[in-house]
């Protein structure tokens, strides 16, 4: 439903990322998290259980120059708006990664499962897999390249965002109204 969508327009989010387990079959950690950046620079970070119950909520304020860098980076990667909204790479279980990118009046929400497996780590990709999922692999790499650029910008301000975590030594600001 719409309540699960990232970056609901009424809240003016320009970038969002959400990580959550595909299923709760294992006794492993299945908690998820969501990070949203609003156009006024407010960064909202929330953790939640597999069932969607809130665990923790924090707000931070990005410097205007950090926010501008994020916006410029998304605008420089217009190809992101051509990426499919669902990237199917043959995975059946694992971790969902949901992204929202906005720039120049465009918005793209992308859902992928185990997207981290698409990065080239010098392993040879089987020809059969490349034939079946080559285009998905190409699009996943577009998403990850932009995501990692945004992560690098956030890191300049001591916000460490990765596919599987968010850490910052900064204190949360008062919850906005």
Distance (Å, whole) CA 121 – CA 40: 37
13-21 and 95-103 as β-strands: parallel, antiparallel, unpaired?
Answer: antiparallel
**pLDDT at position 120:** 56
Residue-wise pLDDT for 85-138, tens only, equals: 999 888 888 889 999 999 989 999 999 998 876 665 545 667 777 788 888 989
Give the predicted TM-score (pTM) of the model: 0.87
Distance (Å, whole) CA 158 – CA 66: 11
DSSP 19-76: EEES---SSS---EEEEEEETTSEEEEEEE-TT--EEEEEEEE--HHHHHHHHHHHHH
Percent of the chain at pLDDT above 70?
82
The owner of tokens 């969508």 is: 5
- Report the length, in residues, of the chain: 177
CB 23, CB 14: distance < 8 Å: no
Q: Burial letters for 70-104: b for 16+ Cβ neighbours within 10 Å, e otherwise?
A: bbebbeebeebeebeeebebebeeebbbbbbbbbe
Average pLDDT over residues 68-84: 96
Whether pLDDT at 140 is above 80? yes
Which positions ≥6 away from 110 have C-beta within 8 Å? 83, 84, 85, 86, 87, 98, 99, 100, 101, 143
């Amino acid at each position: 439903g719409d309540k699960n969508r990232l970056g609901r327009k009424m809240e003016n989010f320009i970038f969002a990322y959400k990580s959550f387990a595909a299923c709760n079959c294992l006794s492993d950690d299945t908690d998820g998290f969501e990070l949203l950046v609003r156009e006024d620079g407010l960064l909202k970070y929330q953790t939640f259980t597999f069932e969607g119950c809130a665990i923790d909520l924090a707000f931070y304020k990005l410097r205007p120059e950090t926010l501008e860098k994020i916006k410029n980076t998304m605008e420089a990667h217009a190809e992101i708006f051509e990426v499919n909204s669902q990237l199917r790479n043959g995975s059946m279980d694992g971790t969902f990664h949901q992204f929202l990118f906005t720039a120049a009046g465009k918005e793209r929400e992308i859902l992928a499962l185990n997207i981290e497996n698409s990065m080239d780590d010098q392993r040879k990709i089987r020809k059969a897999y490349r034939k079946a999922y080559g285009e998905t692999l190409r699009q996943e790499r577009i998403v990850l390249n932009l995501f990692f650029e945004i992560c690098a910008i956030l890191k300049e301000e001591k916000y460490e965002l990765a596919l599987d975590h968010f850490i910052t030594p900064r204190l949360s600001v008062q919850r906005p109204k």
